[in-house]
Amino acid sequence: GLPEEVAGYELYLDEDLSEVERGMLVSEDMHATYVPVTLTGETHEERLHQYEATARALESGPLETHLGGPIAVEHELSETAESDIIRAELITLPVLLLLLVLIFGGLVAGLVPLAVGGLAILGSLTVLRALTSVTEVSVFAINVATLLGLGLAIDYGLFMVSRFREELGRGRTVPDAVRRTVDTAGRTVAFSGVTVGIAFAGLLFFPQPILKSIGFGGIAVVAFDLIAALVFLPALMAVVGRRIDRLALPLPRRTVTGVIDENAGAWARFARTVMRGPAVSLVAVGCVLVAFSSGLASTQFGATDQRYLPADASSRVGTEAMAEDFPAGQVGRLHVAVLGDSGEEAVEEYVERLDALPGAVRTSVARAEEGVAHVEVAYQGATDDPEVQRLVRDVRAEPGPEGAEETLVGGVAAMQLDNLDAIVQEAPKTVAFIIGSTLVLLFLAFGSVVLPVKAVLMGALSLGASLGVVIWGFQEGFFAGLLGFDPVGTIDPTYLVLIMIVSFGLAMDYELFLLSRVREEYLRSGDNTRS
């Protein structure tokens, strides 16, 4: 009952690693049948279409079926990400509205930042949709656009609305309060947004389409957040005016519009405690951040595969059943394309050399045509095992057969190794670009050399702590019981890059918010402790 465009069975291996019949294999306890299906499409999109057609055909049958393999896992990961982001938004939006209303003490003031976020998300998703006509756009770019767009919009909305209400409390008219807000908080938001945009621009150095598309998505999000915060929000505040405090909650100590009393409140007491011994606070917090950063020492890079899916996910069930019930399912393959007019004897001698490499369990010529030979190198183990990665490097280092123009090594394990190598190669350029650009931007914002250096150092320290917690919690599995997942023991370097970019951008975001206001008060009063 499979679609016509899905054709042929491939050769698999039994326990003795010898060839078996083409067709289906039955597990020893007879409870499962393994049907190897070949997707014949020339492009990834065609093979994905064939996979979806196969899945639909099998769903309508009388048997319990699970499609496994790399393309099945990739498809389910993408679908899971799409459904998860919808569920996350349905949960977080009401919670965010409640928190904003509680923070501002009123419904109108709480709704304003959410309006900014909605506008920014719509704009960034429109840009991502336009990008699909010229380049690949990962589904994870949509996650970034929605979550980051909402988060930054609320940040900027909180900052702007708080300053607007404060200026109204100082007795200014609505137009003057709006102008003062844009002149102070708006300037900070502008520098902050550019800083976050610079962080996402660092992703454009990487060749992987997923990182590039998330980089474009992040830049689009920041751009629309800035437009919403600096154009739409001031206009909205001018229209709402003093009605921003309407529908206030009857809270005993709600946030009210008025002049800040720096001697009142828990934050003021906390600040005074820090300023009594700033060196002690600096050392104490620094030690905590360094301690969390130490988790980076145990980083083990790996690949995203079926292990990242829930235990009952169909593609994970199918893939793991193949490995557990069938010897063939435990065998992966490297695909070597030998280009050139090598003779049959030269290719056979090359196959023998590859077969003798550590980790190679069987090497054969799968097919040969004029000018090209397809050689398969079988191995056992996960594609991100160090032994398998070493085999990929050894196969690439082995000289090709006599007469060959070029040998190209592919397969899942080879692609994962290339992905890791590309990230390691481009990471220094990305870091240099982000740090250099951020230092220049902060110098323009503050007119100081010390403040930018301090901000970048603190951002780097907090970034190291964030990554250390990720390694500790997810790779090592300390969050597994709380969050309900199975630790894999490795972490995909792509995710670390994304966390690094987002964390550093947000660290600089908050650094600018705090330092800009501290500097403003210092220029006004000259009192460092009070500022």
Predicted confidence (pLDDT) at residue 146 exceeds the cutoff of 50: yes
Residue 220, in any domain of the structure: yes
Both tokens of 447, joined, read 């007119």
Cα–Cα distance between 299 and 2 in angstroms, integer? 43
Whether pLDDT at 63 is above 80: no
pLDDT at 134: 75
Q: Does 229 lie in the same domain as 89?
A: yes
The CATH number assigned to the domain holding 154 equals 1.20.1640.10
Task: For residue 311, tell me if it sits in a domain.
Answer: no
Residue 416 located in a structural domain: no
pTM: 0.77
SS3 content of the chain, % helix, strand, coil (to 5): 65, 10, 25
**Cα angle vertex 182, ends 176, 187, to 5°?**
145
* Mean pLDDT rounded to a whole number for the chain: 82
For residues 90 and 223, state if they share a domain.
yes
| 522 within 8 A of 275, measured Cβ to Cβ | no
The number of domains in the chain is 4
pLDDT of residue 353: 92
What's residue 9's pLDDT?
38
CA–CA distances in Å: residue 55 to residues 33, 60, 195, 432: 16, 9, 45, 46
Query: Which of 26-40, 45-59, 391-405, 456-470 has the weakest average pLDDT?
Result: 26-40
Instruction: Domain of residue 227: give its range.
Output: 81-251
- Give the model's pLDDT for residue 283: 92
Are 38 and 99 in a shared domain?
no
Domain identity same for 469 and 387: no
Domain final residue pick, 410, 434, 468: 410
pLDDT tens, 189-201?
Answer: 999 899 999 999 9
Query: Poorest-confidence range of 180-184, 352-356, 501-505?
Result: 501-505
The two structure tokens encoding residue 254? 């709600």
Q: Does 312 reside within a domain?
A: no
pLDDT for residue 465: 92
pLDDT (tens digit, 9 = 90+) per residue, 285-327? 999 999 999 989 988 888 888 888 888 888 888 888 777 776 5
What pLDDT is recorded for position 91? 85
Residue 90's pLDDT band (cuts 50, 70, 90) = confident
The confidence score (pLDDT) of residue 182 equals: 92
Report d(CA 433, CA 128) in Å as an integer.
24
Per-residue confidence band for 64, with pLDDT thresholds at 50, 70 and 90: confident
Convert the pLDDT of each residue in 416-425 to its tens digit.
899 888 998 8
State the alpha helices, DSSP H only, in 182-334.
187-201, 209-227, 233-240, 266-276, 278-293, 314-325
In a domain, 415, yes or no: no
Asked whether the beta carbons of 64 and 77 are under 8 A apart, the reply is: no
State residue 327's pLDDT score. Answer: 59
Q: What is the CATH number of the domain that holds 365?
A: 3.30.70.100
User: Are 490 and 136 contacting, i.e. CB atoms less than 8 angstroms apart?
Assistant: no
The region of weakest confidence among 41-45, 322-326, 355-359, 407-411 is 322-326
State what percent of residues in the chain have pLDDT above 90. 18
Looking at the structure, do residues 332 and 389 belong to the same domain, yes or no?
yes
508 and 457 housed in the same domain: yes
Q: Which of 137, 136, 120 is nearest to 197 (CA)?
A: 120
**pLDDT score recorded for residue 16:** 38
Residues 94 and 219 in one domain: yes
Span 154-192, pLDDT tens digits:
888 888 888 888 888 888 899 999 999 999 889 989 998
Q: Is residue 308 part of a domain?
A: no
Residue 310 lies in a domain: no
257 pLDDT tier (thresholds 50, 70, 90): very low
Q: Is the domain of 351 the same as that of 400? A: yes
